[in-house]
Every structure is written in structure tokens, then in C-alpha cells.
């Protein structure tokens, strides 16, 4: 297994793939990078195994949304592999009762129907209004979701539905932690990220303006700048 002080492992969110990070080429050109694809994983353990296959001893872990939760789980289970943890637009702690019910309803629906991907109307619920006219944002989100089958979608929902509050485990790792949110993210409210940040003594919290949930696509330049600063100091 190789050793690297600068390798980054990127973890995508629900209904995403490596195209989520395609506008952040400036960062991947600076650091050797691995882009994980969870579409073939049937459960959380297989997701963790995917990350374990990264051919370097230690790496910086960057997770978006669902990928941020998986990054927390991996870091708590395999702390010797993780140099730093960056959580991008990622919910923290257990899902709310409402979110849990909503996901269970979606699972039941998907078990009896063919998933066809997100529509432009669906995308509008997740991104800032300034992003709606950007084809590289809207089309990428739609195309990523269309690459999923119903079973892939169900697998990811089930793998991450019973979430735990891992703040104490993450705090005990004693590694640098970056938390990034979109100021207008309707999925991950500012107060939840602020509360999580306050539980961690070694964390840095950044918010990006005019931005919804899909930060890597909506505001790639700002996110690259934030990650660069964090990674070079980690």
C-alpha cells in the first residue's frame, strides 16, 4: 500500500456519482484523488469496503451529503486511515422522524415502480435560484440521478436510514474537520451544522452564499478555495 500525504477520497451523495465533482478540477489536479462510486453497493458495509480499497495508507476524506455521513462512519471505524474529514452539505446526527418516514415511503414506492431520475422541478427544490439557469448544474444533477435504477436508490436509502449521532466518536479522532454548508440550503439548515461544529473542538465551519444543497456543482470555485485552505493547513 502506497503512502501519500495529500491523497483525497471523494464520496458522493444520494443519487450522485463522480460527475458531482467535475467542476472542481482545480483541486483534483493539485492532489491525487480517488472518486468513489456507491451505485453498485448493496449496503453500508459494502460502501465502507469501497473506501477501504483506496490504495494509499492514509488520506483526506471529503463527503457530500449522504457521503458525509458515510465519511463519519468510516472515520469512526477506521481512524488510522483518515488524515482529515471534510463534510459538505451533510446532515449530522440521526434523521428526523419526518425524514425517516419520507424515506420509508420512497422505498415502498420504488419497490413497485421504475425510477426515472429527477426532473428539473425536483432539482429546483435543492439548488439556489441562481443555479436554475446553469445547464452544467441542472443537467448534471438530472443525468446523475437517471443513471440509478430503483434498486440502487433503495439500497442507498436503506444503507443510511438508521443514522447515529457520531459527534463524540468524531471528536475523539483528534483530526482536522471542515464543515461546509450553503447559506440557502433547504435540506441541511445552518443551525444543524453550527450545532455540530460547536460539539467539535478541532472543526472549522464555512458557509457559501447564493448556494443551495449541491455546493460542488453550484459554487465549485468557492468550495475549491475553502478545501485548498483547509487541506494545506491539515
pLDDT for the residue 28 = 81
pLDDT < 70 regions, the chain:
1-5
Beta-bridged to residue 181, according to DSSP, are: 207
Whether residue 40 contacts residue 47, with contact meaning beta carbons closer than 8 Å, is answered with no
pLDDT for the residue 5 = 54
Ramachandran sector of residue 93 (left: φ over 0; alpha: ψ -120 to 50; beta: rest): left
Each residue's pLDDT tens digit, 42-58: 999 999 999 999 999 99
Each residue's pLDDT tens digit, 145-192: 999 999 999 999 999 998 888 888 999 998 999 999 999 999 999 999
pLDDT for the residue 43 = 97
In eight-state DSSP terms, residue 2 is B
Residue 61's nearest CA partner among 77, 91, 85 is: 85
**Assigned CATH for 8-233:** 3.40.50.1820
In eight-state DSSP terms, residue 173 is H
Structure-derived torsion over alpha carbons of residues 19, 160, 171, 233, reported in degrees to the nearest 10: 0
pLDDT for the residue 51 = 98
Amino acid at each position: 500500500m502506497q503512502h501519500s500525504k495529500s491523497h483525497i477520497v471523494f464520496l458522493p451523495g444520494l443519487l450522485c456519482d463522480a460527475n458531482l465533482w467535475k467542476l472542481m478540477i482545480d483541486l483534483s489536479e493539485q492532489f491525487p484523488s480517488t472518486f468513489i462510486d456507491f451505485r453498485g453497493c448493496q449496503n453500508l458495509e459494502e460502501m465502507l469496503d469501497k473506501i477501504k480499497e483506496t490504495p494509499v495508507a492514509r488520506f483526506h476524506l471529503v463527503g457530500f451529503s449522504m457521503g458525509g455521513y458515510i465519511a463519519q462512519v468510516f472515520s469512526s471505524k477506521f481512524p488510522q486511515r483518515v488524515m482529515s474529514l471534510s463534510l459538505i452539505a451533510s446532515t449530522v446526527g440521526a434523521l428526523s422522524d419526518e425524514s425517516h418516514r419520507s424515506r420509508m415511503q420512497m422505498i415502498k414506492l420504488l419497490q413497485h415502480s421504475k425510477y426515472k431520475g429527477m426532473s428539473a422541478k425536483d432539482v429546483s427544490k435543492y439548488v439556489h435560484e441562481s443555479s436554475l439557469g446553469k445547464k452544467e448544474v441542472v443537467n448534471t444533477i438530472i443525468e446523475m440521478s437517471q443513471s440509478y435504477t430503483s434498486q440502487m436508490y433503495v439500497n442507498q436509502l436503506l444503507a443510511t436510514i438508521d443514522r447515529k449521532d457520531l459527534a463524540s466518536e468524531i471528536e475523539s479522532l483528534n483530526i482536522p474537520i471542515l464543515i461546509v454548508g450553503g447559506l440557502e440550503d433547504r435540506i441541511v439548515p445552518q443551525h444543524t451544522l453550527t450545532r455540530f461544529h460547536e460539539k467539535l473542538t478541532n472543526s472549522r465551519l464555512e458557509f457559501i452564499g447564493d448556494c443551495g444543497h449541491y455546493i460542488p456543482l453550484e459554487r465549485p470555485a468557492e468550495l475549491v478555495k475553502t478545501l485548498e485552505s483547509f487541506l494545506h493547513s491539515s
